[in-house]
């Protein structure tokens, strides 16, 4: 089978999706149009001092994945600092701000549902290279940003307002969460260590997020999700995936979005451990992982036992691993 990386399945930061806004680079490798508006991923290279003012997202949850950045957050009365590898969840309706702690920081912002990926379009210019973006030519157009923010459900907190006492409008009572690189429930998934970074309960059912640490030539059997879409982001390493009838090569920084109902498998194609960010929408996939973890802790699970756990959680195993 020939190797390919079709635009429909593998996406990455490039000049077709990179923009400059106020001295920083905002790239949009995965937009709502690619996911039926379930989520979008923005890759941001942020210049210190160009962070937005405190604000509230009323329509979408945000997740920051810190790739190469130390970032200080305040969300309502909660203050925390994320280090490289951290995952920070900021639910809708919570006033928040963030500040990059070094001259430059790179991080992903995952939003669900999508929509925010279109907000800055009128104020951005197409990037002509992926190196350090130019300084802004002038101050932002505040009235235009406020007006467009109102269209997109983004409310800016008045200057000098106290975030700790500013009204919150989070109907499900969700709270901000940060988990550093080495934090989160640790599960054994058939010999692959998996960290749970965000659960369905914590996100109000919107999503679940995991980080897998895959040994060389390890990966799951060919399988189908019937309840959730799955998005992969390669943090480290080289991966090979089979999605439907396509065989894909995935490298660091690339993204694959796999809709529910599509048979797929993947594995670490390198000679050293790889690291994969896994996002499922909606949430709940951690229940399947916990079921597999329980089997693994009791000894080597049988195929029948794996199939039973999968069936309970809407997962069908339909073929061997990619490196079988």
What integer pLDDT is reported at residue 245 of this predicted model?
A: 85
Residues 9 and 74 in one domain: yes
Other Cβ atoms less than 10 A from the Cβ of 270: the count is 17
Q: What is the pLDDT of residue 231?
A: 97
Task: In whole angstroms, give the CA distance from residue 84 to residue 66.
Answer: 5
Answer yes or no: do 161 and 234 share one domain: no
Q: Which two tokens stand for residue 71?
A: 């970032």
* pLDDT score at 3: 40
Residue 7 pLDDT class (50, 70, 90 cuts): very low
* C-beta separation of 152 from 116 below 8 A: yes
Domain end point (choices 153, 177, 201): 177
Query: Looking at the structure, do residues 107 and 194 belong to the same domain, yes or no?
Result: no
Residues 6+ away with beta carbon under 8 Å from 228: 208, 260, 280, 281, 282, 283, 284, 285, 314
Same domain, 268 and 196: yes
103-135 confidence digits (pLDDT tens): 999 999 999 999 999 999 999 999 999 999 999
CATH number of the domain bearing residue 255? 2.60.120.10
- Check whether residue 130 and residue 258 sit in a common domain: no
User: What's the structural domain count of the chain?
Assistant: 2
Residue 137 and residue 197 in one domain = no
Q: Look at residues 177, 210, 240 and tell me which one is the last residue of a structural domain.
A: 177
Q: Is the domain of 191 the same as that of 217?
A: yes
Specify the pLDDT at position 143.
Answer: 94
162/207 same-domain check: no
Residue 264 is predicted with a pLDDT of 96
When pLDDT is cut at 50, 70 and 90, the band that residue 4 belongs to is very low
What pLDDT was estimated at residue 41? Answer: 99
Mean pLDDT of the chain: 95
Range of 148's domain? 3-177
The answer on 124 and 257 residing in a single domain is no
The model's pLDDT over 56-94, given as tens digits with 9 standing for 90+, comes to 999 999 999 999 999 999 999 999 999 999 999 999 999
Provide the edge-to-edge strand list for the sheet that holds 208-214. Answer: 10-11, 255-258, 229-236, 274-281, 208-214, 192-198, 185-189
For residues 200 and 287, state if they share a domain: yes
- The per-residue pLDDT for 171 is 83
> Tell me, what's the pLDDT at 210?
99
Looking at 121, 152, 177, the residue that finishes a domain is 177
Q: What is the pTM of this model?
A: 0.95
Whether residue 189 is predicted with pLDDT greater than 70 in this model: the reply is yes
19 and 112 fall within a common domain: yes
Region 143-154 average pLDDT: 97
Shared-domain flag, residues 216 and 231: yes
Report the pLDDT averaged over residues 263-285.
98
Q: What is the pLDDT of residue 9?
A: 73
pLDDT for the residue numbered 5? 36
């Amino acid at each position: 089978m020939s190797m390919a990386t079709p635009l429909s399945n593998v996406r990455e930061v490039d000049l077709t999706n990179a923009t400059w806004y106020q001295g920083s680079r905002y790239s949009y490798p995965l937009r709502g149009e690619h996911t039926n508006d379930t989520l979008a991923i923005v890759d941001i290279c942020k210049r210190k001092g160009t962070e937005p003012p405190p604000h509230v997202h009323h329509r979408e949850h945000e997740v920051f994945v810190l790739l190469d950045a130390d970032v200080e957050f305040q969300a309502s009365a909660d203050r925390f600092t994320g280090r490289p590898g951290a995952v920070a969840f900021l639910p809708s309706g919570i006033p928040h701000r963030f500040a990059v702690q070094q001259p430059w920081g790179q991080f992903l912002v995952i939003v669900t549902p999508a929509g925010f990926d279109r907000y800055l379009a009128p104020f951005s210019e197409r990037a002509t290279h992926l190196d350090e973006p130019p300084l802004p030519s002038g101050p932002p157009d505040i009235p235009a940003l406020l007006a467009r923010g109102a269209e997109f459900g983004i409310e800016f907190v008045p200057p000098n307002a106290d975030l700790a006492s500013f009204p919150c409008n989070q109907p499900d009572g969700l709270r901000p969460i940060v988990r550093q690189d080495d934090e989160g429930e640790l599960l054994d998934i058939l010999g692959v260590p998996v960290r749970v970074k965000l659960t369905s309960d914590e996100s109000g059912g919107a999503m679940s997020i995991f980080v897998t640490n895959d040994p060389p030539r390890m990966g799951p059997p060919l399988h189908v999700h019937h309840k959730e879409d799955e998005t992969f982001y390669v943090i480290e390493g080289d991966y090979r995936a089979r999605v439907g009838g396509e065989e894909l090569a995935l490298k660091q920084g690339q993204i694959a979005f796999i809709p529910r109902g599509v048979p797929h498998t993947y594995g670490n194609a390198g000679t050293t451990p790889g690291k994969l960010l896994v996002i499922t929408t909606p949430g709940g996939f951690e229940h399947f992982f916990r079921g597999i973890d329980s089997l693994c802790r009791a000894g080597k699970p049988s195929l029948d036992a794996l199939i039973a756990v999968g069936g309970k959680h809407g997962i069908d195993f339909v073929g061997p691993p990619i490196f079988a």
